[in-house]
A and B are shown apart, each in its own frame.
Chain A
Amino acid sequence: MKNMKKRILVVDDEEGLRLLYKEEFEDEGWEVELAASGEESLEKLENEPIDLVLLDIKMPGMDGVEVLRRVKEKWKDLPVILCTAYPHYKHDFGTWASDAYVIKSSDLTELKQTVRDILGKKQ
């Protein structure tokens, strides 16, 4: 059971942020997979067990809203946290299917708490 760390897939086109999230969430005790685009994230989801998706909305190519739609179509119960710099997406119907909506901030406290709430206590 010790090796059953929960695994987060971070989807963000910004390299710095991917790296930051990886380190921060690994410190939190999660395993972290990275995807630099919507397309890559779907590929990873097909091939690897993922417990939670942290999804940026504004990305070149397939955006987060579209990824969210496809994820919820295929893996209905997989939690998705939408994470974006843009508060106005909150009014976009497409984002309503997400399990949480977090405005990006350099202070990751809220985001980490949201992840803990969804995945349960740190293991």
Chain B
Amino acid sequence: MEYDIIGKLAGLADSGIKPGVKLAMAAGFFLKAFAFDQSCLYIREGEGGGFTLRGSKGSGPKIKAYGINDGALRLVRGKAQPVEVYKAKGSDAVWNEDKGLKGFKYAVICPIRKGRELDGALYLKALERKRLDAKGRLRLKNAALQLTLLLRFAVAIKELEAAKEELKEARSALKDSEKLITLGDMAAALAHEIRNPLLSIGGFTARLKKHLGAEAPVGQYLERISLEVARLEKIMDGAFRFFKESSLELKPDDMNEIAGSALSPFEDELGVRGIELKKEFYGRRLPVLADREQIKIAFDNLIANAIQSMEKGGVLTMATALSGNSVLAKVADTGGGIDAKIMDKIFKPFFTTKGNGTGLGLTIAKTIVARHRGSVQVENRAGAGAVFTISLPYAGEKEGPAPPA
């Protein structure tokens, strides 16, 4: 039974074997099928490039690469059929020039074509002079065709793999860039685009009001426009003030001092609104690494919320504490607490229960604290009030929280 090289090659094309291994195996099949001593498969690398040895079987000299006009390979340029080469038969020039044929006496070079282009070539070399009969030549020609198909298949798979890999990389790059586009970047970019037109609208509305007079029938419409513009501007300010890529300047600080300095601008207002202030500060320094201005902004928002929740007066408690490795600062109000239905929304941007709120206060507080590797927790005492707790990593000595005073 004759060695079924066509079947072998077809099976190889359809297998899951790695392309590089496939070529070496194919070279081996040819060696066995046509009883040669060495088989070398050269594949063209890219458009107009040379030919590189990609698979071989058998012993003897092997050339790693051929140029398009090198050695016996040039004999198959423009040919569809395998070309036979003998030593000492007038083709000596080619034979001697092709170092890959040294020590052999006979060779067949099969072109592997893609249309008019030469895609590669298969060298089959024998130590003894031999001759393929007509049947053998036909078989070789068909096997070479089958090899061409195998190569194209391999190339297609390789391209598919590369495309897949590219897609994977593109996907992961996209994911990274998505991470970079934070809420802050978006808010800042949006604010940037909207700000100037908004100023125009507001400014010209004011001019219209001035020209028409306060009593004009459309006065109330203009007033509404002005109010809405002012509200939008407020939101833009919020976005600007906190979300711009201002870097944190972390410095050793004391949570008691930060909380105290955040509270002091509100003390007059508390008195006016009939809100009692209770300070329950930890008795020792509470070392944290913080950007004081930023943490103060977080406090600002929490304190302002607390005050607004107590329209009829109440008690604002500001407390600091040390708990394990966390420094805590609590802002508690007696404003009736937060409706359980909206608890999961309160930190979301632009969520507000106030008619003129921006919905950014708690988002900002949380973002700032998170950038300090801390957290903001809310504890709701239904009917009584809410407690917001800022927690920052303790930044003092490991052994004991309090250095001797």
Contacts and interface: CB of A to CB of B under 8 A. Distances in A.
Contacts of A27: 210
Contact of A105 (B191, B199, B210): B199
Interface residues of B, number: 25
Given A85-B240, A88-B244, A88-B246, A106 B206 contact: yes
B74 to A, nearest CB: 61
B240 A106 contact: no
B246 A17 contact: no
A20 B210 CA distance: 13
A107 B226 CA distance: 9
B233 A87 contact: no
A86 B199 CA distance: 13
B241 interface: yes
Given A17-B203, A23-B207, A106 B233 contact: yes
B200 A107 contact: no
B201 interface: yes
A104 B207 contact: no
A110 interface: no
Contact of B198 (A23, A24, A88, A106): A106
Interface in A65-123: 85-88, 104-108
B195 A85 contact: yes
A60 interface: no
Contacts of A23: 207
Contacts of B246: 88
A26 to B, nearest CB: 11
Contact of B204 (A20, A88, A107): A20
Interface string B193-226: 0011111111111110010000000000000001
Contacts of B244: 86, 88
Interface of A: 14, 16-17, 20, 23-24, 27, 85-88, 104-108
A24 B206 CA distance: 10
20 contacts: A16-B199, A16-B204, A17-B199, A20-B199, A20-B203, A85-B192, A85-B196, A85-B199, A85-B236, A85-B240, A87-B240, A88-B244, A88-B246, A105-B199, A105-B233, A106-B206, A106-B226, A106-B229, A107-B206, A107-B230
Given A14-B200, A86-B240, A88-B246, A108 B195 contact: no
Interface of B: 191-192, 195-207, 210, 226, 229-230, 233, 236, 240-241, 244, 246
Closest 10 CB pairs of A and B: A106-B202, A16-B200, A20-B203, A85-B195, A14-B196, A106-B199, A106-B203, A88-B244, A106-B229, A104-B199
B196 A106 contact: no
A16 B197 contact: yes
A108 B192 CA distance: 19
A16 B196 contact: yes
A20 B205 CA distance: 10
A24 B199 CA distance: 13
Contacts of A105: 199, 202, 233
A17 B241 contact: no
Nearest to A84: B195
Nearest to A21: B203
Given A17-B200, A106-B201, 10 more contacts: A16-B199, A16-B203, A17-B199, A20-B200, A23-B207, A105-B199, A106-B206, A106-B229, A106-B230, A108-B203
A27 B205 CA distance: 15
A107 B201 CA distance: 11
A16 B207 CA distance: 13
Contacts of B206: 106-108
